[in-house]
Chain A
């Protein structure tokens, strides 16, 4: 048996790997061998720690030392100081942003204090490529337990837990399983939806990278409950690391007798295959996903029939999201009752969010349902970058809406977010500050949905394009007040008539920003001004009295729009100015303003 005194965990998530965490692992292993301590110190490459802002992360246990932004050249010092002499390398410790003192124990970091890790329980804790570490964490214990229960008992337990789908819709998972169970057929399927197409979202990817076995185990549990022997994971091909870890997990599970014929000697057989998606957002919609797996065009069809009745090859199919599945083993290990005590009345458990945008701690977090936006943004997220003013947070990605200052104390759950005009979505959370222009934000999302619309139905194909054109008109200063009415009307029509969720929700970012930031839209269309000073077409450069007449600006202007005599205030000829901003960056006296 190993007698390790110390474990060094290195983040092997996509973010950290691309900043050389692979080299760090190799370097550590070599340095530890060089001093002959390979039997005392174990180096483990894990999944994502969530603190992507400051990656690569190296964590040393058992003392919980948390090193951030580690570079391959730091390895030697970590080994010679910390490992050999027991002295922490202060300069690599995470610094408390307020007091500027280094924090040596990760338990004292605000980022982790308010988090509760259920779906991410093993991410950053185990080596995802080692099935035995998963088993040591009670892995496959839930499956073993389930195999002693009846199918309906399993479904009842999931129902009792109150778990709702994390893929966006929030549909009760137990109920969905029951539908698939009750539909009799010679063959049924379990599908894991790992398409994850929201811009800025990487929750599912991180779970698959950090804890692939939890998905394998959960799919087998689902298969047992509904009576399916085949599982399929639909994953986008742009997630090579997640694919590799999942393949590795499936192979190991087969080898250990946890997938395949007669699992653990019982009558239950189940196996999993991986299917690759080409990265179209609409293929995350379950009917489109199923068509894509059948080799057809990835286009949605109307529901009903729901997949639970007629899915993959017209057989009963249960589709769940990655994070939904990740919760399943815990529900059986700790009990539905334990799970249902976490969260709010109608939203149980935790939710994983990918924090992005103008926030200090960009990263992956998991909090109990009912945590407020303020706690997420300020306590965990560390507040707004550069001390700027918070303006809004977009939840639900391109299907969601924005929430503002007045919503900050709302407990986050499915129903509260809907009531506030946004939605939970899959867990992307993009924070915006005073410099973000809301019509431009709406335009960003519409560019995405117009591009991703599959074109099957007219309201979405043509409608999103028209919405986008109007938004482009507004941000380029050609908008009129009437455009705002058209935006609203068209949005409502698309919402009511589009075939699938993509079209039905595509106008949400427009409606939501229009409702909350109407003033800002009006400023664009009536006064032709952009209050956030972002829409370059609506801005004009002006030279103020701070100008000392150094002539630097007039020399750098590519179109000769600036005139003036030496040592006198210069002026810009607005009719010639192309708004390139060259003068502004050249001026050493901050005399040029954009208004």
Chain B
């Protein structure tokens, strides 16, 4: 690393490295984030959940959506509809989408996360989570 010679160079480096701890910053402020939770159990992975998770990560980055936190969960119990994705907006009830393909993922981002309108593929939530 060559010596930085100006305040602007420091600024530029900060912009560049910020992404490296982005994930931790988001985890730290999870309550303000749109949380996209991809079910990553054996069934989900077999149905392509890992690709869907990468897709959400890539899209969030390309579109510079800093308020989206992509994470994974265990099996949500909707194995018939894998890959499943649960989206929780701050202060709202989680919504679960099934059979998520890249196209549907794009729709979820554009219409639901950004636009606030519900898109097809919602699975009626059959349980209540026991989190505190």
Contact = CB atoms under 8 A, between A and B. Distances in A.
Interface string A440-467: 0000000000000000000000000000
A297 interface: no
Given A9-B24, A136-B17, A258-B4, A62 B131 contact: no
Given A3-B58, A5-B72, A126-B21, A135 B10 contact: yes
Interface stretch (A140-148, A350-358, A477-485): A140-148
Contact of A64 (B9, B14, B27): B27
A7 B71 CA distance: 11
B63 interface: no
Size category of the B interface is 35 or more
Contacts of A2: 19-20
A518 interface: no
A4 interface: yes
Interface stretch (A102-110, A157-165, A202-210, A222-230): A102-110
B4 A141 contact: no
Given A1-B19, A3-B57, A62 B40 contact: no
B41 interface: yes
Interface string B19-53: 11101101110110000000111101100000001
Interface in A124-166: 125-126, 132-133, 135-138, 140-141, 144, 147-148
A408 B18 CA distance: 42
A256 B18 contact: no
Contacts of B21: 125-126, 133, 136-137
Contacts of A125: 21, 24, 28
A1 B58 CA distance: 11
A296 interface: no
A264 interface: yes
Contacts, number: 120
Interface in A232-265: 255-258, 260, 262, 264-265
Contacts of B19: 1-2, 136
A141 B30 CA distance: 25
B57 A5 contact: yes
B70 interface: yes
A243 to B, nearest CB: 23
A274 interface: no
Per DSSP, are chain B's interface residues mostly helix, strand or loop, or mixed? helix
A256 B31 CA distance: 35
Contact of A135 (B17, B30, B61): B17
A257 B41 contact: no
A438 to B, nearest CB: 40
A86 B24 contact: no
A62 B54 CA distance: 15
A6 interface: yes
A103 B130 CA distance: 11
A144 B10 contact: yes
A138 B131 contact: no
Nearest to A258: B4
Given A86-B40, A105-B131, A257 B3 contact: yes
27 contacts: A5-B53, A5-B57, A5-B71, A7-B23, A7-B27, A61-B23, A84-B40, A86-B75, A87-B41, A87-B74, A104-B131, A125-B21, A126-B21, A133-B17, A135-B14, A136-B14, A136-B19, A136-B21, A137-B21, A255-B1, A256-B3, A256-B4, A257-B2, A258-B10, A260-B3, A264-B10, A265-B7
State the 7 A-B residue pairs at the shortest beta-carbon distance, nearest first.
Answer: A257-B3, A62-B27, A86-B40, A87-B74, A61-B27, A265-B5, A86-B72
